[in-house]
């Protein structure tokens, strides 16, 4: 089991930037698929990025070119750098994980139901 804690959310104006962090603890010795998701008020949760166990990230079209994932393995921390933020990026952002399947790809970014471990979320508000 792994525990995830997000931080770094806040309020910014359109065009601004934020960096979200996701710190993992617990059984971090296994290989995990990681994901960033968000949920805006009144909307369903949607995928932002999927990171496989080798660190390769795939981004949702809505954030491609603006958001970048990175990781610091020594700190068990995942980062999401969000640039050129838009009001429509306003949401609670979640970090999620699931044990990497053997000989199969990680869940897609549009498959949040396949991620078993979730953080508590961090709120991002972008004003126009």
Measured between alpha carbons, how far is 120 from 128 in angstroms, rounded to an integer?
26
pLDDT at 69: 92
Supply the pLDDT for residue 53.
83
Judge whether 109 and 49 are in contact, CB under 8 Å: yes
Q: Indicate the pairing of strand 91-99 with strand 117-118.
A: antiparallel
Identify the pLDDT of residue 75: 92
Burial class (CB in 10 A: 0-12, 13-18, 19+), 68: middle
pLDDT in tens, 73-105: 889 999 999 999 999 999 999 999 999 888 888
Show the CA angle centred on residue 52, arms to residues 39 and 58, nearest 5°. Answer: 55
pLDDT tens string 15-53: 999 999 999 999 888 889 999 999 999 999 999 999 988
Convert the pLDDT of each residue in 65-74 to its tens digit.
Answer: 999 998 888 8
Nearest CA-CA partner of 20 in 85, 74, 106: 85
Looking up tokens 């981004």 gives 59
Distance CA 47, CA 57 (A): 12
Q: According to the model, what pLDDT value does residue 33 have?
A: 93
Q: Which of 4-8, 81-85, 107-111 has the lowest mean pLDDT?
A: 107-111
What pLDDT, on the 0 to 100 scale, is given for residue 101?
A: 84
């Amino acid at each position: 089991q792994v525990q995830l804690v997000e931080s770094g959310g806040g309020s910014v104006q359109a065009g601004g930037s934020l960096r979200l962090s996701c710190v993992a603890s617990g059984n971090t010795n296994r290989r995990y698929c990681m994901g960033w998701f968000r949920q805006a008020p009144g909307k369903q949760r949607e995928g932002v990025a999927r990171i496989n166990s080798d660190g390769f990230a795939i981004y949702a079209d809505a954030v491609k070119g603006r958001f970048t994932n990175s990781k610091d393995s020594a700190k068990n921390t995942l980062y999401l750098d969000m640039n050129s933020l838009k009001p429509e990026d306003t949401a609670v952002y979640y970090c999620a994980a699931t044990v990497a399947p053997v000989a199969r790809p990680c869940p897609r970014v549009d498959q949040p139901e396949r991620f078993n471990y979730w953080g508590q979320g961090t709120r991002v508000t972008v004003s126009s």
